[in-house]
Chain A
């Protein structure tokens, strides 16, 4: 086979330069900055910075508030990823069954994705505000002592619901595509082999959706870790107490609100390591069990 070769040595570099530049400016540079920043301590007025080595990291990891944030993040991420994927899968399967108006259902279900995170947060806040929320009242009628502003568990439930809701459309879209890629004759063969619809789903459809599910697991994991800042900020602001303060939210809080730049930078470096580790783990151990066509 002939390999296409460029006559120039410079041209290939020129062609990838824009992408490279974007990565450099928006990813590597801030990353290096954060790394550097994480070894410094700045005084309260930003007048003097001193090199402190790994002291910031030691302090962060020993901080009970940080350990709390880790726990909050784990619970929040797992539940958000789980619910957004489970509900999306359920809806996608139902939408497949619809004979008339398939397109309509799909379109309507995709809309929430267009809502900005902060606005999604506001929507949920208004609906569930204990004093004027339109859905808080029925909850109270049912005898639930609804007050997410004071009750940490309820606050967590609310941000998980809002964050999941926001992501359902996205997952729905992929699951619909994934379902359509499964040959109909496989389902028919299973039906003839005697499997009922539930059995068909769990033994044929679900395993064949594994590539889609795996991809979504990675995406939703990253989403729950990073992109939910806007929702948490709008709905609970990390409270009550620190009940909904995730790692990302704490980075923001410590850095921009409390102006502890060194600590905040150390936290982002740890976060970076977590994401790299997590993604590597997913690809190494989960992807292997995924069956691609």
Chain B
């Protein structure tokens, strides 16, 4: 067990820089999840921590030791790969015990550790099988077991659940979280699935194009996204982000489509009347209302996605408005494309962003 720290870590391939200075501090026993769209550099970052990829500049510390120039094997970390990377010619037991064997542990002790890990992961019946005779979920657990038996300073996970079907993924998600809590090992977990990220993380790092956009607890990121990218990435369906203008009194915003929404807080001095802003509001932060109720405005529905308990109404403020917006409504509601619904936004859940930089105001 150990802390993990990255200080202004950068990575370039040739002339192109793909990681632009990332700093993270992971506390002992903490579960930190890195989430971001494909190609943003999550794997690269993780592989640099593992020592599989050299860093171009910056400092990486594991347990207080600078590991910049250490080989993977000297870093005392375990990694679970996306494709599991099980040794195909070894049995499950040998796969899990490989690291211990190399560490020179006596056979009996090794077998005992492997057995204990296998028990934790329900793998006892499969110890003598080769990986190709296992299902995807079982392979995934073997990969976990291989990391677990080593009792390393830190776990690194690179999208370990992305090859599993939806149901198994939920199941494994819970299992990973539970396991990590029992063994209490510092973990860095990479995923592009924001649900996985929200549910697993003690702390969440939202990455975009080689930059850590925001580092905070999942709920803090959900409640106060630092910029439009984070706002759009965390939450499903994505937050509605609409161009708007501060009203003359400075206590509300006027959407481009017409309606005015009152703001609860006092605005900072820089956000004076008439300033253009981006207004963010999540689909789940609308309430349906009757026509003409105070603060309500109509949304012309053009498509409905029904999920069961809920439905998502996609609509526009006016029939010709360019921007579409999504509203969460109860699933049994009878909606018709082309007809308006009337909604009231939750005033406490509004987000304002600077249009040029996308930063939160």
Contacts and interface: CB of A to CB of B under 8 A. Distances in A.
A binds B: yes
Interface of A: 183, 185-186, 188-196, 199, 203-204, 207-208, 210, 291, 293
Nearest to A188: B52
B85 interface: yes
A183 B131 CA distance: 15
Interface stretch (B12-20, B98-106, B256-264, B352-360): B98-106
Contacts of B103: 194
Contact of B73 (A186, A191, A208, A210): A191
A195 B52 contact: no
B150 interface: yes
Contacts of A186: 85, 87-88
B71 A204 contact: no
B102 A185 contact: no
Contacts of B146: 189, 193
Contact of B89 (A188, A191, A195, A208): A208
A204 B81 contact: no
A207 B94 CA distance: 14
Contacts of A188: 50, 52, 72, 79, 81, 85
A208 to B, nearest CB: 6
A174 to B, nearest CB: 19
19 contacts: A185-B81, A186-B87, A188-B50, A188-B81, A190-B98, A191-B71, A191-B72, A192-B72, A192-B79, A193-B99, A193-B150, A194-B73, A194-B103, A195-B73, A195-B98, A199-B102, A203-B98, A210-B89, A293-B132
Interface size bracket, B side: 20 to 34
Given A194-B73, A199-B102, A207 B52 contact: no
A163 B73 CA distance: 41
Interface string B230-269: 0000000000000000000000000000000000000000
Contact of B77 (A192, A199, A291): A192
Contacts of B72: 188, 191-192
A38 B50 CA distance: 68
B78 interface: yes
A291 B77 CA distance: 30
Given A188-B52, A188-B72, A189-B79, A194 B99 contact: yes
A293 B132 CA distance: 8
Given A192-B73, A192-B77, A193-B146, A185 B85 contact: yes
B56 interface: no
Contacts of A293: 88, 132
* Smallest CB-CB A-B distances: 7 pairs: A193-B99, A185-B85, A189-B85, A194-B73, A194-B102, A191-B72, A291-B89
A187 to B, nearest CB: 9
Contacts of A192: 50-52, 72-73, 77-79
A204 B87 contact: yes
Nearest to B81: A185
B217 interface: no
B73 A196 contact: yes
Interface string B19-45: 000000000000000000000000000
Given A191-B71, A192-B50, 15 more contacts: A183-B83, A183-B85, A185-B85, A186-B85, A188-B52, A188-B72, A189-B79, A192-B73, A193-B73, A193-B99, A193-B150, A195-B98, A196-B73, A208-B88, A291-B88
Interface of B: 50-52, 71-73, 77-79, 81, 83, 85-89, 98-99, 102-103, 132, 146, 150
A258 to B, nearest CB: 51
Nearest to A185: B85
Contacts of A203: 98
Contacts of B88: 186, 208, 291, 293
Query: Which residue of A183, A188, A189, A191 has the most chain B CB atoms within 10 A of its CB atom?
Result: A189
A293 B87 CA distance: 10
A145 B86 CA distance: 54
Contacts of A190: 87, 98
Nearest to B150: A193
A189 B98 CA distance: 10
Nearest to B53: A188
A199 B71 CA distance: 14
A193 B87 CA distance: 12
A80 B356 CA distance: 72
B55 to A, nearest CB: 16
A193 B103 CA distance: 9
A191 B52 contact: yes
Contacts of A291: 88-89
B92 to A, nearest CB: 14
Contacts of A193: 73, 78, 98-99, 102, 146, 150
A18 B252 CA distance: 87
A98 B81 CA distance: 25
Contacts of B89: 207-208, 210, 291
